[in-house]
Amino acid sequence: MGYSRLDAPEDLSAPTPMLKGLAADRFESLVECHLRALVGYLARRLGRQVAEDLAAETVALAYRDRDRYDPSRGTEVAWLFAIATGLMAHHRRSERRRLAAFAEAQPSGSAEDATAGTAVDHVAAAETLRATARALRRMPARQRDALYLVAVAGLDYEDAAAALSVPVGTVRSRVSRARARLRGEIGLPDVSPDPVVERGTDD
């Protein structure tokens, strides 16, 4: 189950028996409710300008293919984010360059105007940003996808699994590994893994 990012929306030749589609008014409601989250998901990965362009393309493709929406494969939200994530996959190199830039970022603001306390805070915040960017850049793209869908877009594990066309256990495993990588890079203490997550797989 789930939405393959190849046939949502590109594989127009695939057979589509028993698809119920998505009515125009329902589609409008879907976009109205989730456009902000969609743009935020893409912006955190590629920057605001590219995100707005990709969000517009996502909506256009989803509208074109709304008759092919299959509720048996996941919710409308999962379908929309499957399309967005599929488009985002063409920008992996840009995402990695963006993360590399954050990994080298220096504290902003004037050192002369900052008190000793705020200067320390700025340095600590900048180092946390750099460490987070390093961890995100180093982790496999499939882990980043799962982490961003759950932690940034706010999808539950079931919707994230449908958007990525993988089992729920795989999403739990990928998110768990991604969070562990972040904790290790930032220097936070590890926590005991969720036994449910441990049963997942990460292909």
pTM of the model: 0.74
State yes or no: pLDDT of 45 exceeds 80: yes
Provide the pLDDT confidence category of residue 19 given band limits of 50, 70 and 90: very low
State yes or no: pLDDT of 105 exceeds 70: no
Mean pLDDT rounded to a whole number for the chain: 80
Residue 81 has what pLDDT? 97
What percentage of the chain carries pLDDT values higher than 70? 72
The tokens for 9 are 């929306």
> Which of 12 and 141 is assigned the larger pLDDT?
141
Residue 6 has what pLDDT? 42
Burial of 86 (0-12, 13-18, 19+ CB in 10 A): buried
State yes or no: pLDDT of 123 exceeds 70: no
Question: What is the arithmetic mean of pLDDT over 182-201?
Answer: 56
Distance CA 186, CA 6 (A): 35
Residue 11 has what pLDDT? 46
Where along the chain do its domains lie?
A: 24-198
* Cβ neighbours of 124 (radius 10 Å): 11
Residue 108 has what pLDDT? 59
What percentage of the chain carries pLDDT values higher than 90? 50
Distance CA 77, CA 88 (A): 16
Distance CA 11, CA 1 (A): 16
Poorest-pLDDT segment among 19-23, 61-65, 133-137: 19-23
